[in-house]
């Protein structure tokens, strides 16, 4: 664990790299293809400018935000992170617990390595639930029932994963399930004894949200489980069906087409997350931050739009608000923090983001996140 102080999300990357075997660090950092989408996501934020204004009134700055009828302490949440048990066996519950402490949403992935029930117990509040479209229809119904039984207030359906992207780092490292260590990865694991001991003591990596499938077929392999999670029919008829079944808030994640967002709204979807999966799916996909104004031009309202991919700081969150989103999600940064310094690292990152948000809102002369808009805060 690192003993050096952390002052930005970037400070967690180097110690995370030291603490993890190469194949685990590459799983966090990597994207699809030559990873130009990952780079473009981050670079697109670097080119943005925010214009400060003199405040029109006296008063304290507040980060309180409201999204989908829910109140949170800041305008961001923790994005769904599948297979993060590879980084830390208790990653899902740690992230959910800390997110609840700071009163921001945590989105549990259907591909999490801890169950919804475990997450609710750890956090004290139900998470949002992220869903891939499984290729077994009964699994779709089972997952929806599981999310409903645990009072998940929001269902986030990921629509950019009809198949997994070609993530070259994972292919080169031999990272697949069921996982078998090759010689290079055994050497890497031996270089990181703390990670190795934690992982061995925790036992096999499992997907407990699919435990009903395991009970029906105890000989089911991890590869079969992964195949269940994706590869189902991903089309508008399925979204319509989910909208009919799911009575709480429904969000589509991975939308990059304004026309798709308009159609989703007509079907009764409550919001979309403009996202390219952090650059881990279609490598040629545009950076979501550059697409947000086009969604506004299509007549979509800000409260219908959220955004992820490439966000690394509180300033990036404000930039996403300035470009037209009402809320943001971060993913990789939390895994870096977790790998660098465990639960304390995650708390430290939250403190950093909150401070960055507060300082930058004050510098912009704004009272709250709702005051950030393309009209009064964004400059080319």
Q: Please list the active-site residues.
A: 277
What tokens does 369 get? 């996140």
Helix axes 22-29, 183-191, angle to 10 degrees: 90
Residues 6+ apart with CB under 8 A from 204: none
Q: How far apart are CA 225 and CA 334, in angstroms?
A: 26
What tokens does 250 get? 């429904």
Strand partners, 134: 231
Distance of CA 326 to the CA centre of its chain: 16
345, 364, 362: which is closest to 7 by C-alpha? 345
Strand partners, 236: none
**8 A C-beta contact, residue 350 and residue 12:** no
Longest distance between any two alpha carbons in the chain, whole Å: 66
Pairing verdict, β 378-379 and 49-50:
antiparallel
Per DSSP (E only), the strands in the chain are 49-50, 65-67, 70-72, 76-78, 107-109, 128-131, 154-158, 249-255, 271-274, 305-307, 327-330, 378-379
What tokens does 154 get? 């929001």
The residue to which tokens 């990152």 are assigned: 349
Residues 6+ apart with CB under 8 A from 200: none
**8 A C-beta contact, residue 87 and residue 335:** yes
Tally Cβ neighbours within 10 Å of residue 151: 12
């Amino acid at each position: 664990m690192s003993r050096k102080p952390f002052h930005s999300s970037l400070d967690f990357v180097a110690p995370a790299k030291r603490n993890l075997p190469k194949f685990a660090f590459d799983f966090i950092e990597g994207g699809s293809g030559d990873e130009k989408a990952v780079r473009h996501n981050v670079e697109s934020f670097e080119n943005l400018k925010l214009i400060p204004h003199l405040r029109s009134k006296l008063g304290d700055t507040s980060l309180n935000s409201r999204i989908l009828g829910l109140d949170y302490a800041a305008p961001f949440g923790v994005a769904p992170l599948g297979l993060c048990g590879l980084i830390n066996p208790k990653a899902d519950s740690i992230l959910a617990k800390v997110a609840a402490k700071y009163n921001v949403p945590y989105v549990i992935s259907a591909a999490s390595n801890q169950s919804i029930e475990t997450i609710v117990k750890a956090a004290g509040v139900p998470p949002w639930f992220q869903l891939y479209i499984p290729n077994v229809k009964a699994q779709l119904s089972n997952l929806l029932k599981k999310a409903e039984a645990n009072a998940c207030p929001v269902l986030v359906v990921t629509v950019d994963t009809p198949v997994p992207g070609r993530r070259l780092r994972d292919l080169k490292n031999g990272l697949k399930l069921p996982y078998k260590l090759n010689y290079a990865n055994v050497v890497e694991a031996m270089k990181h004894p703390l990670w190795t001991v934690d992982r061995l003591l925790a036992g096999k990596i499992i997907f407990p949200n699919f435990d009903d499938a395991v009970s029906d077929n105890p000989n089911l392999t991890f590869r079969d489980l992964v195949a269940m999670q994706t590869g189902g029919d991903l089309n508008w008829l399925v979204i319509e069906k989910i909208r009919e079944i799911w009575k709480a808030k429904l969000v589509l994640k991975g939308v990059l087409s304004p026309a798709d967002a308009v159609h989703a709204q007509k079907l009764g979807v409550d919001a979309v997350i403009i996202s390219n999966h952090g650059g881990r799916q279609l490598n040629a996909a545009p950076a979501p931050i550059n697409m947000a104004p086009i969604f506004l031009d299509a007549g979509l309202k800000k409260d219908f739009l959220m955004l992820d991919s490439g966000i690394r700081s509180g300033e990036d969150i404000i930039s996403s608000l300035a470009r037209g989103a009402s809320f943001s999600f971060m993913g990789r940064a939390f895994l870096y923090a977790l790998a660098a310094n465990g639960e304390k690292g995650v708390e430290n990152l939250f403190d950093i983001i909150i401070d960055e948000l507060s300082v930058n809102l004050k510098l912009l002369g704004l009272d709250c996140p709702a005051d950030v808009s393309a009209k009064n805060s964004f400059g080319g």
